[in-house]
Structure formats: C-alpha cells, structure tokens
Amino acid sequence: MPGKPPPPQLTPDRVRFCPLCGAGLERRPVGPEQRLEQVCPGCEFVYYLGQKVVAATIPAADGRVLLTRRAIHPAHGKWTFPGGYVDWGEPVEQAAIRETLEETGLSVELGSLIGVYSYAAAPVVIVVYEARVTSGSITTCHEADRVEWMATHEIPWDELAFPSTIAALQDFLGRGPARSARSPGSSANPGQRRAMRRRNAAP
C-alpha cells in the first residue's frame, strides 16, 4: 500500500541471537585483524552479515528499453528495470532471467554485463545485464504495477527509483543507441507500437 512505511532493514546492530542455537550474540574480536563481529558464546558461530545480491536486466529492442514502475516499498511509484534478490545457491545470471520473467511476463536472453553497483551503507550489490526478449507478453505483478517500453527520450530520469537505476541506464546508454535486437511484435509501425504499449501498461 502506498501509505505503508517500509519494513526495517537487517543491519549488524539489529542481529541479537544466534541462528543456529538461539543464544545471545556478543561483539568479539575475530581473526588476525581482531575485527569486532557478532559471535555466539554457546556454539562459537560467527554471524557475518553480508550484502544481499540483486540480479537485474535492461531489456532493449528497437531503440527502447523496458522499465517497470514499483508497486512496493522502497521507492513506491518510481521507475526501474526488472530485477530482484538472488536466491540461496542460485547463479546470478539465472536469477536475472527469473526475476525478469516474474516481474514482466517476458522471457529474456542475457547479453553482456552492464555493471555492478554498490553504495556505502546500502545492504545490496546490484548486478545488471543487457537482455533481449525472446518470448512472452507484458504482464504486471504485485511488485510492479506498470511495465512499459520507453524510447530513450521518454525515460523519466527524475522519477527513477535508485542511484543504481540511474547509473546502470547511463552506463547502458553510454555504449551507444539502445540495442536494435527485434522483440516480438517489433515489426509493427510506431503508431501500432504506441497502441500496444498502452494496452500492455496497467492503468
């Protein structure tokens, strides 16, 4: 819901109990560098809280890129490209393909890596690939209430969701014109494509 505040984030100072035995964690020096970490006094498990990995794609065709409008927090109502968390044991490339299908209804084939993005105090590392649509039809989901093909001049730069969204799009567009790989339905003329985009976008 738009008015609902975002849930709290898991940070090192919020971790209180051992996930293995349930004992309270303590800050102790660990390793030759004596870096303070959360350590279980019962089973000696060290709780290293690492960054979460996000896998994403920028699908492109006919000079356009595919963007989604977020229907969840954070950045509710802002635009980004398809992507989401990598599952435990899942290859990053597979996660990028899966998340794109889940959020847009489109199957894609990955191209080259656009970039890897991380920021101080942010809990995620974002890995972004070029992508080409191979099949499917645009479908919205609970995380994205609009999915649209946009020409580069239509990208809403002031309404993009995250610093990584801006950086990855700039890096992608800096390589030259958006890739000309043809997507399903790309043989339609510009007027027909605009009509298709309106039909495929959620109100």
In sequence order, the 6+-apart residues with CB closer than 8 A to the CB of 191 are none
170 SS3 class = helix
Domains of the chain in start order, with CATH, are: 12-47 (2.20.70), 52-200 (3.90.79.10)
pLDDT at 192 over 50: no
Predicted TM-score of the model (pTM): 0.81
For residue 143, name the pLDDT band (cuts at 50, 70, 90).
very high
pLDDT at 146 over 50: yes
pLDDT at 87 over 90: yes
pLDDT at 203 over 70: no
Per DSSP, the residues of 103-126 read HHSEEEEEEEEEEEEE-TT-SEEE
Q: Give the pLDDT of residue 175.
A: 86
For residue 158, name the pLDDT band (cuts at 50, 70, 90).
very high
Please give the C-alpha separations between residue 171 and each of 128, 162, 188, in angstroms, as whole numbers. Answer: 10, 14, 29
Across all residues in the chain, what is the average pLDDT? 87
